[in-house]
Amino acid sequence: MSFPKGFLWGGASAANQYEGGYNEGGKGLACADLISGGSLTTSRQITPTIEEDRLYPSHEATDFYHHYEEDIALFAEAGFKAFRMSINWTRIFPNGNDETPNDAGLAFYDRVFDACRKYGIEPIVTIAHFDVPAHLSEVYNGWGSREVIDFYTRYATVLFDRYHEKVKYWITFNEINTATLSIGNFLSLGLQVGASSFIDQPDNMQLRYQALHHQFVASAKVVAYAHEQFPALQVGCMISYMPRYPYTCHPNDVLLAKQEENMHSKFCGDVQVTGKYPYYAKKYFADNGFSIAFAPEDQDILAKGTVDYYTFSYYLTLCVSADENVTKNGHSMIGGSGVNNPYLEQTEWNAMIDPVGLRIALNDIYDRYQLPLMIVENGIGVSEEVAADGQIHDQYRIDYLQKHIAEMDKAIEDGVDLIGYTIWSAVDIVSASTGEMKKRYGIIFVDKYDDGTGTLARKKKDSFAWYQQVIEQNGLAKNETK
């Protein structure tokens, strides 16, 4: 067995996709609460206010707000050592910039952390998971504005001050690099950046990179605060890591794959781990005519607020071609250069399934940073139903997870310092990119459907018992490791 003692096995979630209770306990409106359901290609829209005839998936989501005790008891039954969740910024500061925090919101998370602690489950807490207060979006243009750094800092320091004895592992921003993804606009504009002026306007990469810079500064400030005030805390970054493969061994393909991987998957980690912008980013900005406004103190702030550990999500790899004669049929995430990888299968939502790619990513990241690593999201979205026998037989999920865990095992044997793995997701929740319920990731089924109906009852899928066994034996059974 290669998994170290104390390895943090568990499951993950995000408040805007899971919590619900969007207007309860004094919570304010978040951008996510203004994004209606549907899919990227159909009716998903950001509306300026809540409209009566639309369905907003975040409003109820799968109702962790009222089910947290039941759900955490289920996590304990599965043997979870860790539970990754996020705090809803607007539950703590309803407008994002209020002078004082909302007591009811703070008390809710006390109850959640206490429930985790009761079962010996380590909470891993994301401070902002696709979560920008709507008020900050409206008045300040979200992260497009430098002022938001101070509001975020106030919010994060309140969290550290309040919960430092209950929560050791923190993550400043979920998938911070999605701020610059030019497609999937709901994600990167509405959820990650919260910039209302972007909506219905031509895309503006200059503003996206400036918004990202503000997030870097905000992240570094709160990391430094945690280090000064509470040295036992571990504060990490979180990157959507998608390795790029060259479609052929032609040097132009190899070069393109490296360049795209640098700017998409490595850039943000480089800034947050080393405390400065990497050389290749400066060239990229110059080539594309972007100029990032640095305040005089920013370089120093970035240097002083480097992260303690590195976390990432891993769902897929991408394949790129520099050859204009090759048909670009690849994942939409990548724009013009993506080609389907002929060696891999895809999920229903066109993600290339690539367990070996996870071992490659783990080795690459560890080689670059030599920091403890955590995979805080990995899993498969499937449209699934309850079978005639009343059960959910998700053997495909077991296969998917088993293959990825086998590669993690090998990466640890390679020498990678991997300290945790939280699957996406513990419980069925709303999809971030498409707003769908039918794209299910959980090992626990929730009776909730795209039209908003359902009893919200929980049911363990077959993968629940399988994962329970993996955790109990701290890794895979012998016959599953290949």
State the minimum distance, in angstroms, from the CB of residue 83 to ligand BG6: 15
432 binds ligand BG6 (CB under 6 A): yes
- Contact call for residues 128 and 86 (beta carbons, < 8 A): yes
Residue 128's CB is within 10 A of a number of other CB atoms, namely 28
State the minimum distance, in angstroms, from the CB of residue 355 to ligand BG6: 17
14 binds ligand BG6 (CB under 6 A): yes
For residues 67 and 429, give the distance between their C-alpha atoms in angstroms, rounded to a whole number.
Answer: 13
Nearest Cα to 438, choosing from 422, 459, 453, 457?
Answer: 453
Kindly tell me which residue out of 175, 354, 407, 428 binds ligand BG6, with binding defined by CB under 6 A.
175
Residue closer to ligand BG6 by CB (options 14, 281) is 14
Residue closer to ligand BG6 by CB (options 39, 274) is 39
Nearest Cα to 90, choosing from 78, 79, 104?
Answer: 104
For residues 71 and 60, give the distance between their C-alpha atoms in angstroms, rounded to a whole number.
Answer: 15
Give me the 433-472 binding string for ligand BG6, x by CB under 6 A, dash otherwise.
xx----x---------------------------------
Give the orientation angle of helix 395-414 with respect to helix 355-369, to 10 degrees.
30
Residue closer to ligand BG6 by CB (options 131, 261) is 131
Reading the block at residue 251, the tokens are: 């040097």
State the minimum distance, in angstroms, from the CB of residue 386 to ligand BG6: 21
236 binds ligand BG6 (CB under 6 A): no
Question: What are the DSSP calls for 42-73, one per residue?
Answer: TT--B-SS--TTS--GGGTTT-HHHHHHHHHH
Active site residues: 175, 377
Residue closer to ligand BG6 by CB (options 240, 463) is 240
Residue closer to ligand BG6 by CB (options 261, 377) is 377
Task: Identify the H or E element spanning 240.
Answer: strand 234-240
C-beta nearest to ligand BG6: residue? 433
Instruction: Looking at residues 204 to 233 of the shown chain, list those that interact with ligand BG6 (rule: CB under 6 A).
Output: none
313 binds ligand BG6 (CB under 6 A): yes
Q: 361-366: long-range contacts at Cβ-Cβ below 8 A with a sequence spacing of 24 or more?
A: 361/241, 361/243, 361/312, 361/314, 362/407, 362/408, 362/411, 362/414, 362/416, 362/418, 363/411, 363/414, 363/416, 364/243, 365/241, 365/269, 365/310, 365/312, 366/411, 366/415, 366/416, 366/417
Number of helices and strands in the chain (H, E) = 15, 14
172 binds ligand BG6 (CB under 6 A): no
State the minimum distance, in angstroms, from the CB of residue 375 to ligand BG6: 12
Instruction: Looking at residues 360 to 399 of the shown chain, list those that interact with ligand BG6 (rule: CB under 6 A).
Output: 377, 381
Q: How many residues bind ligand BG6 (CB under 6 A)?
A: 15
Residue closer to ligand BG6 by CB (options 22, 225) is 22
What dihedral angle (degrees, nearest 10) is formed by the CA atoms of 358, 361, 362, 364?
160
Site stretch for ligand BG6 (CB under 6 A), options 19-27, 202-210, 359-367, 430-438:
430-438
Site stretch for ligand BG6 (CB under 6 A), options 70-78, 101-109, 132-140, 429-437:
429-437
Residue 427's CB is within 10 A of a number of other CB atoms, namely 25
Contacts with ligand BG6, residue ranges (CB under 6 A): 14, 17, 130, 174-175, 240, 313, 377, 381, 424, 431-434, 439
